[in-house]
């Protein structure tokens, strides 16, 4: 995989470290990934601010702190094998995962966003990503079970299909809730799922179904 570094991305990584992100591998991935490639050119001047930005279709590119926080929570499961991402969006979170996991399986319900994300990942020479246009609520059963699952939009309740696609010891990091949302981590132990609430967050809803 090609390593792409920009001064702005390095400064962003330093800001995130100052805000409490301590995982050095996550910070390195942030520093290597040019976030301006994942937003519209008119918003490129805001790309390295620690804020969410619109990407069209009613979706957003997540705040860099949240991207780093959720990724670090996944890695605390001590697995860098196969990760399932629900909500490809701009592809920025996908790119961070691709630098840290052996393989990324990413599901996106909006075809236009998926197409753009695929082009950006190819531009960065990140080829360890499989993409599917589909309903994120259903996960990707044929590719599972997964060592890790990350969800980048908020369902009102945790989709049971995602829990069932976790491998033994696997971790699911997901925002949950409607009006009030919390970032939650689930860990599988046999047929039991232990959860921990991390912090209050704000995501777009995880909408069932898929768009052409």
Q: Rounded to an integer, what distance in angstroms lies between the CA atom of residue 57 and that of residue 65? A: 23
Is 62 part of the annotated catalytic residue set?
yes
Q: Which of 8, 62, 106, 195 is flagged as catalytic?
A: 62
Q: Which residues of 154-193 are buried (b: 16+ CB within 10 A; e: fewer)?
A: bbeebbeebbebbbeebbbbbbbbeeebebbbbbbeeeeb
Neighbouring C-beta atoms of residue 5, cutoff 10 Å: 12
Question: Which token pair is 77?
Answer: 């499961």
Residue 197 three-state SS: strand
Residues known to be catalytic: 62
């Amino acid at each position: 995989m090609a390593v792409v570094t920009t001064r702005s991305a390095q400064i962003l990584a330093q800001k995130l470290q100052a805000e409490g992100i301590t995982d050095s591998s996550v910070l390195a991935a942030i520093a290597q990934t040019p976030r301006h490639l994942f937003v519209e050119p008119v918003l490129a001047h805001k790309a390295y601010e620690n804020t969410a930005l619109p990407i069209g279709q009613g979706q957003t590119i997540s705040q860099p702190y949240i991207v780093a926080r959720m990724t670090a929570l996944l890695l605390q499961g001590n697995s860098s094998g196969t990760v399932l991402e629900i909500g490809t969006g701009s592809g920025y979170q996908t790119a961070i995962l691709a630098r840290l996991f052996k393989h990324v399986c990413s599901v996106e319900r909006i075809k236009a966003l998926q197409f753009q994300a695929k082009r950006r990942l190819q531009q960065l020479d990140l080829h360890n990503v499989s993409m599917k246009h589909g309903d994120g609520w259903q996960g990707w059963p044929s590719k599972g079970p997964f060592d890790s699952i990350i969800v980048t939009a908020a369902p009102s309740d945790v989709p049971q299909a995602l829990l069932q696609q976790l491998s033994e010891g696997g971790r699911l990091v997901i925002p949950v809730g409607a009006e009030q949302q919390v970032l939650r981590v689930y860990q599988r132990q046999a047929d039991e799922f232990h959860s921990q609430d991390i912090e209050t967050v704000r995501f777009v809803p995880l909408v069932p179904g898929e768009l052409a």
